[in-house]
């Protein structure tokens, strides 16, 4: 199954021919959506065609009603949902890591202060042995090599959450770049999707980029140790992702709008994010088919999510989402 899912991930779609359900958007959750779609087709015979084109593309396509569902890591606020006539609910939780390719430095060996990470992406810290990095890594042999910054070149919910984090840990970033799905990057190489950024990191020694944890895991990148909201060092690993995710406060009244970066707690990894599904409010019959797929995933897909490094939604949240579906006549 994993080989088939990997092949689908490389192609960017799953079950592209004769698809019953079409979706498009975020690359952040694409690996688990491909796995879930494979399981769903095997169980029900129904096919799901998901295109990993970035959150910005997903919002555009569902707004234009060219797909049955959109997917975005940037949640839309209730007023925007009303304007676009959309429903919204979370599907799974993931984490964004500072992934690096530095020969001789293994996964989790490198510490980067949150504000220094912003300085790297601003182009103000240019070399790996810069004093600011060296001070936090005594005993680690840092190379005098120029840092190759890798970032997204498309409209991206991963970028939205990463830039939200950087804006809250660095006034310099907030003042000069800010928060958004697409940014005017001060420095670096750009590519589309988590897939594209992963390729850039793989191809460029001494590089750093931001990707969803599943892509880090799949490609064998190192991930920097970052800081919690209170400044404690925290590794990019499942138990610390969960420590942050538990603070989510979901409400169907706001269509589950929630940003999870920089949650409190001594073990809370700082860049955790939910990813969301967008449905048109008028397409009741097809919405029911889409909801059947995600309901199947909620019931049978948690183990696949965990294998890839995602955090399944708590059962109480899933129940809340089902009640939301019922309220709107799509379940």
Q: How confident is the model at residue 241 (pLDDT cuts 50, 70, 90)?
A: very high
Residue 324 has which token pair? 């939301």
pLDDT digits (tens, 9 = 90+) for 258-302: 999 999 999 999 999 999 999 999 988 999 999 999 999 999 999
Number of Cα atoms under 13 Å in the Cβ half of residue 24: 19
Q: What is the pLDDT of residue 283?
A: 81
Residue 190 has pLDDT above 90, yes or no: yes
Select the more confidently predicted residue: 96 or 13.
Answer: 96
Strand 207-212 and strand 148-152: the pairing is parallel
- Do the two domains 2-92+248-258+274-327 and 96-244 of this chain adopt the same fold? yes
Residue 317 has which token pair? 């949240």
230-234 mean pLDDT: 97
What CA–CA distance (Å, rounded) separates 300 from 17?
24
Q: Does domain 96-244 fall into CATH 3.40.190.10?
A: yes
39-51 mean pLDDT: 96
Query: In the chain, how many H helices and how many E strands?
Result: 14, 11
Residue 3 has pLDDT above 70, yes or no: no
Q: What is the pLDDT of residue 13?
A: 39
Alpha carbon 120 to its chain centroid, in Å, reads 21
- Looking at the DSSP bridge assignments, the partners of residue 210 are 98
What residue ranges do the domains of the chain occupy? 2-92+248-258+274-327, 96-244
Select the more confidently predicted residue: 246 or 16.
Answer: 246
pLDDT digits (tens, 9 = 90+) for 210-230: 999 999 999 999 999 999 999
What CA–CA distance (Å, rounded) separates 215 from 102?
17
Q: How confident is the model at residue 2 (pLDDT cuts 50, 70, 90)?
A: very low
Ordered DSSP codes for 260-315: -TT-SSTT--S-EEEEEEEEETT-HHHHHHHHHHHHHHHHH-HHHHHHHT-BPPPH
Q: How far is CA 156 from CA 92, 95, 168, in A?
A: 17, 14, 18
What CA–CA distance (Å, rounded) separates 96 from 241?
10
In percent, how much of the chain has pLDDT > 70?
94
Name every residue whose Cβ is closer than 8 Å to that of residue 175 and which is 6 or more positions away in sequence: none
In percent, how much of the chain has pLDDT > 90?
93
Q: Does domain 2-92+248-258+274-327 fall into CATH 2.40.160.40?
A: no
Number of Cα atoms under 13 Å in the Cβ half of residue 184: 5
Residue 206 has which token pair? 């001494």
- Predicted structure pTM score: 0.91
pLDDT digits (tens, 9 = 90+) for 130-186: 999 999 999 999 999 999 999 999 999 999 999 999 999 999 999 999 999 999 999
Q: What is the pLDDT of residue 265?
A: 95
Strand 207-212 and strand 272-280: the pairing is unpaired
Residue 109 has pLDDT above 50, yes or no: yes
């Amino acid at each position: 199954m994993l080989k088939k899912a990997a092949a689908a991930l490389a192609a960017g779609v799953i079950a592209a021919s004769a698809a019953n359900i079409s979706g498009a958007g975020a690359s952040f959750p694409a690996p688990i959506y491909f796995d879930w779609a494979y399981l769903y087709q095997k169980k029900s015979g129904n096919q799901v065609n998901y295109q990993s084109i970035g959150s910005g593309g997903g919002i555009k396509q569902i707004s234009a009603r060219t797909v049955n569902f959109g997917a975005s890591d940037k949640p839309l606020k209730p007023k925007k949902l009303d304007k676009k006539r959309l429903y919204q609910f979370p599907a799974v939780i993931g984490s964004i890591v500072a992934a690096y390719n530095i020969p001789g430095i293994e996964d989790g060996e490198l510490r980067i202060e949150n504000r220094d990470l912003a300085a790297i992406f601003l182009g103000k810290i240019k070399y790996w042995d810069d004093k600011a990095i060296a001070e936090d890594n005594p005993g680690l042999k840092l190379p005098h090599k120029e840092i190759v910054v890798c970032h997204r070149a498309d409209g991206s919910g991963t970028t939205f959450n990463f830039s939200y984090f950087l804006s809250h840990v660095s006034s310099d970033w907030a003042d000069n770049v800010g928060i958004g799905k697409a940014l005017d990057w001060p420095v670096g190489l750009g590519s589309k999707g988590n897939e594209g950024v992963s390729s850039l990191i793989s191809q460029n020694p001494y590089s750093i980029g931001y990707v969803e944890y599943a892509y880090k895991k799949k490609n064998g990148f190192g991930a920097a140790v970052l800081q919690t909201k209170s400044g404690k060092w925290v590794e990019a690993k499942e138990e610390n992702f969960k420590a942050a995710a538990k603070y989510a406060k979901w409400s169907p009244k706001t269509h589950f709008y929630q940003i999870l970066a920089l949650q409190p707690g001594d073990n809370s990894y700082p860049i955790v994010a939910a990813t969301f599904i967008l449905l048109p409010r008028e397409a009741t019959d097809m919405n029911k088919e889409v909801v059947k797929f995600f309901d199947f995933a909620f019931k049978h897909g948690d183990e696949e999510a965990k294998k890839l490094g995602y955090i399944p939604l708590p059962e109480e949240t899933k129940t809340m989402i089902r009640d939301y579906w019922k309220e709107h006549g799509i379940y």
